Amino acid sequence: MSTSKLLIKYDFSLYCHNAFGIDVNAYMYLPVTSLKILDALRKNLSILRLPYLVLGGGSNLILTQNFPGLVLHMYNRGIEILSEDSNAIYIRAAAGETWHELVMWTLDQGIPGIENLSFIPGSVGAAPVHNIGAYGVELKDFFHTLTAINMQSGKVFILDRDACDFTYRSSIFKHDLGKHAIILSITLALPKRWKPNASYIDLAKKLEDLKLYQPSAQDISNAVRTIRMQKLPDPAVIGNVGSFFKNPIISAERNISLLIQHPRLVSYKQNNGSYKLSAGWLIDQCGWKGKNLGTVGIYEKQALVLVNRGGATGKNALHLAQIVTNDVQEKFGIILELEPVIV
């Protein structure tokens, strides 16, 4: 494929391609349906010198201005059973696939494992970047490898779980590697010896309410979907990127100190002895739940979520987030970190 055949669009609106509904344009926009497109793109040095942004579902992205470079929108498709051994079934999915559709595909094939991650918006390629997680499960728990291309060298390479350096809502792609590498596909290792994970309090309660004491993977998926729909706004109805703040991780000693000052503190002990705080609870205690600041606000059902009340800009969202962060720090001494990618 020659560069002249690339379907590049200019001054392209990203309004419908970011879940917060921010009205900005990209100088150049290119849908990527195959590796051949990226190979052809590398032959155009003038374009390659521009800054580029890899776009998936736009569900975890805040755009603060028109993007002055090239937006590469991943549209490659494909899900397949790659192989299996005595322990796991290996599923490969292209980066442009929708994450929730991948979860549903695995359940349709009778291959459980990632049902707790049902109904998470976004693309498959974005999942390892953010090490997505929900209801007691993180992507890294079932991650095997990913395939990516280095846009500087043109080399296609594979990274395993350790090489991805997964941490809470982060990976190596949020650091140096993300500046020049594009994820093409991921491979999951889903265990043959499956058992339900209902350790998360909200999920356990929902299953109990439904009298599902020995839930199937589909039961868990359905329960997760119900919880998410009750707690989180639909981006198609009101612009949002889901959780805007990460849940802070603190030491056991710090947790005890905060409990003395705030006996109703919501915290969860982690496997390594640290504690995860509920950022939503902290924000709620500062009085922000359901409040608005101009065109942006805090969702009335979940204080972790910032919403676009109509015509909001990325800078509006960041301004409110900073005020909320300041209030939480003043009241609790905790510094909240933002979860979405800011561009």
1-56 pLDDT, tens digit per residue, is: 555 578 899 999 999 999 999 999 999 999 999 999 999 999 887 888 899 999 99
Read off the pLDDT of residues 118-148 as tens digits, 9 standing for 90 and up.
999 999 999 999 999 999 999 999 999 999 9
Model confidence pLDDT, tens digit, residues 63-84: 999 999 999 999 999 999 999 9
**Do 216 and 279 belong together in one domain?**
no
Q: How far apart are CA 127 and CA 91, in angstroms?
A: 14
Cβ atoms of 305 and 213 within 8 Å: the answer is no
pLDDT at 1: 58
**pLDDT confidence tier of residue 291, bands split at 50, 70 and 90:** very high
Which of 209, 231, 253 corresponds to the end of one domain? 231
Residues 227 and 300 in one domain: no
Catalytic residue among 123, 171, 243, 267: 243
CA distance 262 to 254: 12
Range of the domain at 166: 79-191
* Catalytic site residue from 169, 171, 221, 228: 169
- CA distances (Å), origin 65, targets 49, 282, 313: 20, 30, 8
80 flagged as catalytic: no
Q: What is the pLDDT of residue 315?
A: 98
Verify whether residue 243 is a known catalytic residue: yes
Q: Residue 308 has what pLDDT?
A: 98
pLDDT value for 49: 87
The Cα 285–Cα 190 span in angstroms is 39
Q: Which of 74, 96, 127 is the last residue before a domain boundary?
A: 74
Cα distance between the two ends of the chain: 30
Is pLDDT larger for residue 100 or for residue 174?
100
Active-site residue flag, 300 = no
Residues 152 and 225 in one domain: no
Tell me the pLDDT of the chain averaged across its residues.
Answer: 95
| 64 in Cβ contact with 318 (< 8 Å) | yes
The answer on 85 and 69 residing in a single domain is no
The predicted pLDDT at position 266 comes to 95
* Maximal C-alpha separation, the chain: 66
pLDDT in tens, 240-273: 999 999 999 999 999 999 999 999 999 999 989 9
The pTM for the full model equals 0.91
Please determine, for residue 220, whether its predicted confidence score (pLDDT) is greater than 90: yes
Q: Is residue 63 domain-shared with residue 118, that is, in the same domain?
A: no
- Residue 321: per-residue pLDDT: 98
Q: Which of 240, 130, 142, 128 is nearest to 188 (CA)?
A: 142
The tally of domains found in the chain comes to 4
